[in-house]
Structure 1
Amino acid sequence: MNQLVKQPCVWEFSKYLLDKSQSNTFIYITAGKEHNLEIFNKKYSILVITIEEYVEYYNKLGYTTKNLNSNYNIKNLENSVVIANNILEHISNQKILDKFLKTIKTFVNSSKYLLFTVDYEYFKKNHSNHEILDEKCFLNDFYQLLAIHDLNPYSIGYTRNNNYTNEKNVFLSIFGKETAIKKVPNVSCLAIISTFNEKDIILEVVYHLLNQGVDVHVMDNWSTDDTYRILVNEYQNNKRVTISRVPLEKPKHKQYKWHDILSHKEKIAIDSDYDWIIHHDADEIRYAPWENIKLIEAISWANYLGYNAIDFSEIVFRFTDINLDIYSEFERNILDYEFGRRDGHFLRVNTWKNNKDISLAGYGGHNCEFPFKKVFPLKFLMKHYPLRNEEHAIEKIFKDRLPRFESDRKKYGWHGHYDKHQKENIKTWKDYNLIHYEKNRFNKKYLIERLSGIGIIRDNSSAIDENKEFKEEIKKLKKKLKKEKITNKKMKGSLSWRITKPIRKLKKILSK
């Protein structure tokens, strides 16, 4: 049986932040014995700050430990990530609690990231009628507690209490120097969009980017609808939008050469004078990880901190029977989504500081590669609208995509995610299989997921594929048994049949 881990996503998130921010020190502030320090191995320097009665306990485990009343050399701890938990739940003495919160404030102002958690059961004791209250009431109590001690988090949300349940009954607040976004000079940024038959959404996407402070270059892949004409009519006199066609001359054969399109994007980026580049699709709406902060401001902050690439968390919106269709924007009509689960959804490092060594085409557009890449730890958000209604889905998949990218598929193995679609299966998604998007709720309930991807269930198809060799071995054994004409009865009565029973069970699992 797996060991019980308290707040597993918080621990995974802290390790993620350590790796991404290239920090070298992890600090654990606690008033309890619960921890998951083993996940850090010996890669990082670890410091435990705790009350006197637990100092010896952590010392015996081999960790450097400081008493809560110690003094700290802040300069030596600036390159650190901190977890503070098991404090409010374990401390009843107000003076000691105030000391802990004062210590947390010290590290809020010195560490790169600090994660402070509290089980909301802690706040129930302050309410005689807590049975009729929900977590929103207790969340307000948490806000007030932080405010009293002058602690201003970047964000507050929920996370899992342990690795045996998906219930989110722990409050998580995030602090740190890299989350405290400040006004810095804006960089210049260009989003390069390739488009083919996206007339219904392209203006919405371009308008959103312009409103977010990002200029746009649209490469039209010789659309057969009105996409190109609509763009030219709308933006031919706008200096912030440029429009081109790729290839330069209309191709004789209908082909969708994604590798060539990406290579052309690389050239446009390198030849431009922009500081930062976004490889952007025609059906995406992107946001900064901070609420009410524009993309250009967030990119400028990442640049100011010394990062040169940005990753995105992807949520995929699906059309259902209850789409509103009363607004002109898809973002306001299609409101039900699911988290991306394929491997490609978890790698969206396609915004980068412009340089001449960029390689985008080699990674299918999911990942930009260049020397000395340093990805900003907090993922930005990508809202993806690939299929907007049943008619659009059939047109896009079976006319605009599948017949046109065979050469790329043979050469690079891309676009396999379209194989699962059949015309008779293109119907509206069931809304009960999706999550309804409400901005404030999304940002709180899926705080760690949207900033890191941690906690999102991935497709297990890749795990099954890893067992191909095992499957082939079973096939060979079957052929051998058949060739040697071993009777079923004799075989089942043998010792080897009984010994290999677990392997046959595994085979059945893999074949499902």
Structure 2
Amino acid sequence: MTLYHLPKSYQSRDAVSYFSDIEHAQGTPLYQPEVYEVAEYFLRKTGRSTVIDLGCGMAFKLVTLPATHRIGVDFGSNIEYCRAHHEGAGEWIEADFSDAGSITLADRAGPDCVVICADVVEHLLDPRPLLRILAACHAKGAIVLTSTPDRIRAWGQDHNGPPPNPSHVREWALEEYRELLKDNGLPCIYSGYTYDNDQDLRLETIITIHDKSAALDMAGDSPPITRPLAILALYNEADCIEQVIRDWVAQGCDIHAIDNWSNDSSWDILNRIAAEAPDRITMERFPEQPGPHYEWRDILRHKEMIAAAHPGRWIIHTDADELRRSPFPGMPMDRALRLVQGAGANRVNFTLINFRPTPEHPDVSHDLHATGIFFEFASKPDEFEQAKAWLQPQQQVDLVSSGGHVANFEGVVEFPYRFLLKHFPIRSPDHGRRKIMMERKGRWSPEERAMGWHIQYDGYHAGSPYLWNATDLLQFTDAFWENHGLAVITDIAKDGLRSTSRSDPPSVLLSTSVEEITNHLAVLMVRMDSIEAGREAALLEQQKHGADIKGMIHQMRTAHEGQIAALMERWTAERNTYDHVVEILTQRILALEEMLVTIRHDIAAKEQRLNQRYRTAIRRQQF
């Protein structure tokens, strides 16, 4: 590597032409758009009031930032334009970044400041004076943002310069640029990729963030004395609960699991894992007895009470279909939360990404850590507030008022770098149908539904395919943090260029062959037979319980007159429960019948030779 951390074979330019924004402004894309979105985010989240843009060009992006004091630095026609057209919108300073005397610009920086240097370093014959300015700003407590084109992503692995752009002296690859900055006093808290412009949407520009208030060495080299506590709620998560629990242990956290009376093997799995690490894993069933509805408010209040018993300890409010990650790749949760505390913060927000089953990966439950599966950033407004980790204060926090999205308490100081929440709500078509149609929609609390809660699955029905098209999603790869980390640690995925995700359920079946449709039809027929048998069994069970309870009431009426009202109430609840089961099964049958009709029409349109099977299916529909 050379002085500038480039390959020895790389050829830089010996001279460079001046880059005028004025000459390139007409009809051109908006370059480095996310750099300024990130600057706006840090101004807003940290309460800083000053922004300095080193190499501001014509300052169209700078003047939109919500800062009390804007300082733009450039020279030539660019700074002349700023003075002529943005008078009163900022302070405009002319400076030559190749001049060692320009270091005095750092005197304007401080802990109340965000410094931007977007696509400037590649224009300089010697970038070291500019890097010294940035390092001095960083040392004074400013958050520093830099960007520059990535040579390999833009031009290919074999490109050895000089850059095709005549205004560029040299260009770096990510690792080279990261090392250049580190050697010049600018260690990165984040380095990855951002969009080159707002039209092509290619991740070909490097972006780096430097912030000594969140220096990575604040995490320490050893686990904290008191481990964070993850309070985890679950209901029927047997396909993934072991992976999730073991992941929390690996992240250096203890776990308290609250099982809402699962009727699959979740409870048995919890018992087995807890026996392996009784000092790390505790568990309970809540409430004391199973009820007809899923009462989310009661579970949240219970979590609040558990957390209140651990003042001074980090608490994470989580569910059984979630994995959490710190924004510092390779740093476990326990050390990352110690870094947060060292930075003076006591609450952490999370950026949510939803993983989806696709035809390429129809079941993502086998390995929640796998690469190659597909995800999308959250798109619903309430999904962007996920402030679910906090340093427990002396008083009880409030989870209920936000529906569990935000831990509210006095004296909140939120860490500006968001953590990652990997959510696996629907892990396969079979899981989705069972979870939504059988295990969720019939159990929602009517009162909570009336409050507008539990509506996330309203668009799903029995005929939904529960598979997403991979082309509508993003693929989770080993380069996830480099490609998408910027949208994780900030909230730019909410309203910015990356807000393209779509969480609506798939409404139509994906294209299938006649053979696949026929096979699916056969499976549906078997399921319908099974559901009908279950419906009849439920009716018999209802009659049996009704008869048993009536008999008990008759026998006890004389001797236990005072218990009659309670017994009648219990009988009514039992009857309502079984009526509800029958209603769910009936709705399921009707939905399957509707889906069957749709499939039959599709079969008829695709292949006339299936007419006989189709008529048979119609006759079977009458059960």
Instruction: Tell whether the structures are fold-level matches, with TM greater than 0.5.
Output: yes
User: What whole-Å deviation, never above 9, does each CA across 1:458-490 have from its counterpart, x for those lacking one?
Assistant: 67999xxxxxxxxxxxxxxxxxxxxxxxxxxxx
| Cα distance in structure 1, aligned partners of 2:106 and 2:148 | 27
| Cα distance in structure 1, aligned partners of 2:151 and 2:384 | 33
User: What whole-Å deviation, never above 9, does each CA across 1:343-374 have from its counterpart, x for those lacking one?
Assistant: 12211111112122421111111112222322
- Say how many residue pairs are matched: 452
Aligned pair in 2 of structure 1 residues 75, 119: CA closer, same or farther (>3 Å)? Answer: closer
Letter in 1 for 2:145: L
| Cα distance in structure 1, aligned partners of 2:258 and 2:323 | 17
Mapped contact 1:195–1:282 kept (Cα < 8 A) = yes
| Shift, 1:222, TM fit | 0.9
Please name the residue that 1:393 is paired with. Answer: 432
Mapped contact 1:23–1:79 kept (Cα < 8 A) = yes
Please name the residue that 1:320 is paired with. Answer: 358
Please name the residue that 2:35 is paired with. Answer: 10
| Cα distance in structure 1, aligned partners of 2:141 and 2:346 | 21
Trace 1:474-493 onto structure 2 (pairs within 5 A): none
Residue 193 (str. 1) matches residue 228 (str. 2)? no
Which of 374, 395, 407 is equivalent to 1:336?
A: 374
Please name the residue that 1:102 is paired with. Answer: 132
Mapped contact 2:150–2:172 kept (Cα < 8 A) = no
Please name the residue that 2:196 is paired with. Answer: 161
Which of 44, 48, 64 is equivalent to 1:39?
A: 64
| Shift, 1:116, TM fit | 0.3
Residue 255 (str. 1) matches residue 290 (str. 2)? no
| Shift, 1:184, TM fit | 4.6
Q: Does the residue aligned with 2:104 lie in a helix, a strand or coil?
A: coil
Trace 1:280-319 onto structure 2 (pairs within 5 A): 280-319=318-357
| Larger Rg belongs to | 2
Q: Does the residue aligned with 1:423 lie in a helix, a strand or coil?
A: coil
Which is further off, 357-366 or 429-438? Answer: 429-438
Aligned pair in 2 of structure 1 residues 370, 399: CA closer, same or farther (>3 Å)? Answer: same
Please name the residue that 1:364 is paired with. Answer: 403
Which of 66, 72, 82 is equivalent to 2:115?
A: 82
Q: For CA contacts below 8 A with separation 6 or more, give which structure has more relative contact order.
A: 1
Trace 1:36-185 onto structure 2 (pairs within 5 A): 36-41=61-66, 43-51=67-75, 58=82, 61-62=87-88, 63-66=90-93, 68=95, 69=102, 71=104, 77-92=110-125, 94=126, 97-120=127-150, 127=161, 138-143=173-178, 145-146=180-181, 149-184=184-219
Mapped contact 1:31–1:86 kept (Cα < 8 A) = no
Aligned pair in 2 of structure 1 residues 3, 432: CA closer, same or farther (>3 Å)? Answer: closer
Q: Does the residue aligned with 2:335 lie in a helix, a strand or coil?
A: helix
Which is further off, 315-324 or 5-14? Answer: 315-324
Letter in 1 for 2:51: F
Please name the residue that 2:517 is paired with. Answer: none
Mapped contact 2:29–2:199 kept (Cα < 8 A) = yes
Trace 1:204-283 onto structure 2 (pairs within 5 A): 204-236=243-275, 238-248=278-288, 250-251=289-290, 253-273=291-311, 275-283=313-321
Q: RMSD between aligned alpha carbons? A: 3.3
Mapped contact 1:390–1:426 kept (Cα < 8 A) = yes
Trace 1:11-30 onto structure 2 (pairs within 5 A): 11-30=36-55
| Shift, 1:70, TM fit | 5.3
Question: Between the two proteins, what is the percent identity of the paired residues?
Answer: 26
Which is further off, 70-79 or 291-300? Answer: 70-79
| Cα distance in structure 2, aligned partners of 1:159 and 1:65 | 27
| Cα distance in structure 1, aligned partners of 2:296 and 2:326 | 27
Aligned pair in 2 of structure 1 residues 58, 452: CA closer, same or farther (>3 Å)? Answer: same
Aligned pair in 2 of structure 1 residues 163, 73: CA closer, same or farther (>3 Å)? Answer: closer
| Shift, 1:14, TM fit | 0.8
Q: Does the residue aligned with 1:203 lie in a helix, a strand or coil?
A: helix
| Cα distance in structure 2, aligned partners of 1:37 and 1:361 | 40
| Shift, 1:17, TM fit | 1.0
Mapped contact 2:248–2:254 kept (Cα < 8 A) = yes
Mapped contact 1:157–1:447 kept (Cα < 8 A) = yes
Unaligned runs of 5+ residues in structure 1 are 463-512
User: What whole-Å deviation, never above 9, does each CA across 1:251-272 have from its counterpart, x for those lacking one?
Assistant: 3x42111111111111111123
Please name the residue that 2:547 is paired with. Answer: none
| Cα distance in structure 1, aligned partners of 2:242 and 2:384 | 27
